[in-house]
Amino acid sequence: MTSPDPRENTNVHAAQLFDLAPDLMAVASFGGHLLHVNPAWTACLGWSAAELVGRPWIDFVQPEDRVASTNFAETLVAGLPVRGFENRYLHKDGSTRWLAWNALPVPESKQIFAVARDITGRQQQLERQRHTESLLRIAGATAKLGGWSLDLADGRVFWSDEVCAIHEVAVGFVPPVDAAIEFYAPESRPEITRVVTECVEHGTPFNVELEIVTARGNRRWVCAMGEAVRDPADRIVQIQGAFQDITDRRRAEAALRASEARFRTLVQSSWDVFHLVGADGTILFESPAVTRVLGYQPDEMVGRNAFEFVHPDDAAEMAKTPFVLPAPGGSQVKILRVRHQDGRWRWVESFEVNLLDHPDVAAFAVNYRDITERKEAEEALRASEERFRAMANSMSQLAWIASADGAIHWYNDRWYDYTGATPAEMEGWGWQRVHDPEQLPTVLAAWKAAIAAGAPLEIEFPLRAADGSFRTFLTRVVPVRDGAGQVVQWFGTNTDVDALKRVEASLRESEATLKEAQRIAGLGNWNLNLATGELRWSDEIFRLFGIAPDDFGATYEAFLRGVHPDDRERIDRAVQDALAGVAPYVVEHRTLAPDGTVRTLLERGEVTRDPAGRPLQMTGTVLDITQRKLTEFHLAETNRALHLLSRCNEAVTRCECEEELLATVCRIAVEDGGFRMAWVGYAEDDDARTVVPRAHAGVEDGYLSETMISWSDTSPLGLGAVGRAVRTGEPVAIPELSADPSFAPWLAAAQARGYRGGVALPLKQAGVTLGVLTLYLAEVRHLQTQELRALRDLADDLAFGIVTLRGREERLRLQTALQKMATSVSASNHAQFFEQLAASMAEALGAEAAFVARLVAGGDPRAQTIGAVVNARAVPSFELDLVGTPAERVLELGGWIDAASEVEVLRQTPSAAPHRTRGYAGRRLDDSSGRSIGLVFALFRDPVRSTEFVASTLQIFATRAAAELERQKAEARLREQASLLDKAQDAILVRDLDHRILYWNKGAERRYGWTAAEAVGRSAREIFYDDLTDFEIAT
């Protein structure tokens, strides 16, 4: 027998496995057709093998997945196996199944062997999981709740998307623990550090509410919860927890507190008395209205038992029913007698609500009003047979009684009088016909709710009167119960509050008008309760102090914090003096708002005292006088500036020289004007355009010597107030030096000497800016228009004074020059004349050096000095090369002045003469025929100020020098001719038209015997004629 081939057995087993496998198995061609499928295909997809084999497998793929499935097949055809490919196949019933494929290509046979597992359930589970996670994210975002964890191994904190959103950072942000703690507000960091440390070290869970600062700088309140995660060895390896934004809740709690404060204010200002009574009858709180109703102060009643004040008969009646109401939150109305402080009994109507179970109250809330007058009327009516009805009909309110189901069966007369209705019309629920149709549904709902709850009802609504008009009524309804506590009927009243509503509306309008009037007038009012320390302000005072009502502590100490620090001690002393009766409370003070605004207020107050003279409260007003004080200040500053102007004008008329005037004005500006330092500087025309200080007063301390100031528009030193004032000719004020960037070069030096503000005033005359008067202030201050105008007038008057003194000085110098020149005429010789002329010219012009020179004949222009003075000393004659010097320009133009340039003026000069100068002036000398014969010129150490004066004065000296040169030349010519005549033998003489002998030669001496000395100056008649008749005939 031949043994079977093992391979045949293997094929048999493989075929059995192919058919029995729960997973989908298939063989497909490279062309994409199914060749073999196992039964699992039918079980999974519903298609039979006959329907599948031979067809392209892509036909059974979900259309959306066919592109990816084609790529999957191409990979296999390329000879590469594929694992874990997922796509969707179509079930025969039209539904979809998810399949996960593993496939292997067999290139030899060009076939693909594939196995697929149905993962539809898993995919559906994943979809539900994603849906759940989406819902959780939505819930977390809605609740602003997220999760977090701290890995102790690497010290990093992992935040959920919601936690990242709360911190306003990008999703996926993973900070180290130190950086995460830095997000907490500084005041919260110690607490979060403590609880996290305890959780890490001891596993202590935590739940804290703290404040964080987000990445965008926003503050938020959060609830941070955390607990430790341990490994199998019970070691803490992680901290995880939840994180919720509770900012909205905290804000709601703050709003609730504010609401409670408003409620307390309402209670304390109410006309009715409100008090809280504990379960044992102890009075816990009493509103101020008790003083009006019963004469007691609230603190006289708090702590005592309420029954101490109740009439014994009423107390006995109350003892018959439980004091504690049947149900928490229930209420009741009681009418009883209460003892007044004066011993009389007062009837009160008490509305009591059981709030014992309320966690924030735990007491009876009782509201009662004085109804003594009403009760006395009721007692009088009880004497009649229809006591109850008479009482009801005498009430000012509309009254009615309803059965337990709410149907009204009795009204008092007041109801019918008001409505004009008949009893038949009002029976049961007929009362609806006198209600406003628009509000009736609301009234019905409230009434039915009260009936269902068996609870009192208080509601306001309008009722139609007999004339068809509507008035507002306050309706109070209380249930009447039997001994078993069941409601047997209802008693209701309708109180006409229409007038009260109008009064309230009018009051609100009046209050609004008052607030507006106070706002316009800058007037507020306040009240300080000395017993409680509570301080109440009107709205206007909050505005004056620059704070919001919610930011005010409502105490005397909070008020002092709003007062300027420099005034607090004085204000507190004034308050204490007023309380002690030493002086009335009338005081001015400043406030300092959080934004830095300063206001000046006038406060007046009065102290209210008890009969014993003890102060109970202070009430007063606050008036904003900021503008008035500012006006007074500006007026004082303007008056001071005007006084300063007057004083300076006096100085202008009194001072004899320019230096004295400048020093006097600076001193007056400091002493009378209140300026810290004042100085005057002149604008020079040098290359740097320097402003040179000439006088100062006040706290200077070397400021002007260590700083440099220019008026150049190209240098930072010329961009300050002084430079701008020179260039523009307009005042430049700097209220705050440190705030003006252009003052930066001098700021440190100025601050060291206490300069805080300043103004530069141009000194102008005839459209020319001579210099600047600069005034520095010791405080930051804006100069007002009037004050600045007065200071500008001061500068103009100073400039006028400067020009006037200079004119006076120039006239004096010119007069002196003319006298000097007249003196020089009498000089005994030529050298002395020109030397004296040069000295006089230098003195008259205020020059460092002066020269008179005669032109030297030749090629290039040259000159020889015939009179030279340097620094008031004569120097020997020297020759000058005029080429390329200012003297050459003088010869060309006839005259030339360089007022401020530093130029080379002399070359070959004695050592005493300056080679370079800051000012130059020269004039050409012409003879009577217009021919140039010489020049005069002067050199100046400082720039020339008055070119007109220098030019005119120089012209005078030039004319005299030219005339003298021409005279000397003519005299020399005469001497030469006289020498020739002396050699002649004939008598030669010259006489003028008056026959006076001017010349007498040697020949005349020999002929007539008269010497020249004897003849010159005598009349020819005396010498030649004894008989004047012959002389007269001859002439």
Domains, the chain, with CATH or none: 6-118 (3.30.450.20), 125-245 (3.30.450.20), 253-370 (3.30.450.20), 377-496 (3.30.450.20), 511-624 (3.30.450.20), 631-808 (3.30.450.40), 827-974 (3.30.450.40), 984-1034 (3.30.450.20)
Quote the pLDDT of residue 827.
47
Q: How many CB atoms lie within 10 A of CB 1015?
A: 22
DSSP, collapsed to helix, strand or coil, labels residue 38 as coil
pLDDT one-digit tens code per residue, 814-831? 677 666 666 655 544 566
Q: Enumerate the H helices of 33-156 as residue ranges.
A: 40-45, 49-52, 66-77, 120-143
Burial 538-576 (b: 16+ CB within 10 A, else e): bebbbbbbbbeeeebeeebebbeebbeeebbeebeebbe
What does the alpha-carbon distance between residue 293 and residue 55 come to, in Å, rounded to a whole number? Answer: 103
| Residue from 945, 667, 921, 1007 nearest 805 by CA | 945
pLDDT one-digit tens code per residue, 422-468? 988 888 899 999 999 999 999 999 999 999 999 999 999 999 999 99
CA atoms within 13 A on the CB side of 882: 26
| Residue from 364, 367, 347, 366 nearest 355 by CA | 364
DSSP, residue by residue, 750-801: HHHTT--EEEEEEEEETTEEEEEEEEEESS--PPPHHHHHHHHHHHHHHHHH
Q: Could you tell me the two tokens for 270?
A: 């109410």
Quote the pLDDT of residue 771.
92
Burial 481-511 (b: 16+ CB within 10 A, else e): beeeeebebbbbbbbbbbeeeeeeeeeeeee
Q: How many CB atoms lie within 10 A of CB 712?
A: 18
Say if CB 910 and CB 887 are below 8 A apart.
no
Quote the pLDDT of residue 828.
44
| Residue from 256, 254, 258, 225 nearest 242 by CA | 225
The residues near 354 (Cβ < 8 Å, ≥ 6 apart) are 324, 325, 327, 328, 329, 330, 331, 364
| Residue from 182, 181, 185 nearest 210 by CA | 185
Write the CA distances from 279 to 264, 275, 285, 327, 455, integer angstroms: 21, 13, 13, 14, 21
What does the alpha-carbon distance between residue 938 and residue 950 come to, in Å, rounded to a whole number? Answer: 10
Say if CB 923 and CB 873 are below 8 A apart.
no
Q: Give the Cα-Cα-Cα angle 364, 370, 372 (nearest 5 degrees).
A: 130
Say if CB 713 and CB 724 are below 8 A apart.
no
Quote the pLDDT of residue 8.
52
Q: Could you tell me the two tokens for 643?
A: 């006084």
What does the alpha-carbon distance between residue 1 and residue 7 come to, in Å, rounded to a whole number? Answer: 18
Distance of CA 523 to the CA centre of its chain: 25
Hey, what amino acid is at 203? G
Quote the pLDDT of residue 2.
43
C-alpha dihedral sign at 606, 609, 613, 616: negative
Write the CA distances from 37 to 33, 45, 47, 59, 473, integer angstroms: 11, 12, 11, 15, 90
Q: Give the Cα-Cα-Cα angle 953, 955, 960 (nearest 5 degrees).
A: 105
Quote the pLDDT of residue 7.
46
Quote the pLDDT of residue 812.
75
Q: Give the Cα-Cα-Cα angle 356, 359, 364 (nearest 5 degrees).
A: 25
Say if CB 113 and CB 30 are below 8 A apart.
no
What does the alpha-carbon distance between residue 540 and residue 893 come to, in Å, rounded to a whole number? Answer: 80
Say if CB 246 and CB 223 are below 8 A apart.
yes
Say if CB 488 and CB 404 are below 8 A apart.
yes
What does the alpha-carbon distance between residue 291 and residue 333 come to, in Å, rounded to a whole number? Answer: 22
What backbone torsions phi and psi does residue 1022 show, to the nearest 5 degrees? -70, -30
Say if CB 83 and CB 72 are below 8 A apart.
no
Q: Which residues of the chain have pLDDT under 70?
A: 1-14, 126, 128-143, 263, 266-269, 320-327, 329, 377-388, 390, 507, 510-522, 632-649, 651-653, 813-814, 817-831, 900-916, 974, 977-985, 1026-1035
Quote the pLDDT of residue 66.
93
Q: How many CB atoms lie within 10 A of CB 348?
A: 24
Specify the pTM: 0.37
Quote the pLDDT of residue 594.
86
Q: How many CB atoms lie within 10 A of CB 725?
A: 28
What does the alpha-carbon distance between residue 307 and residue 318 come to, in Å, rounded to a whole number? Answer: 10
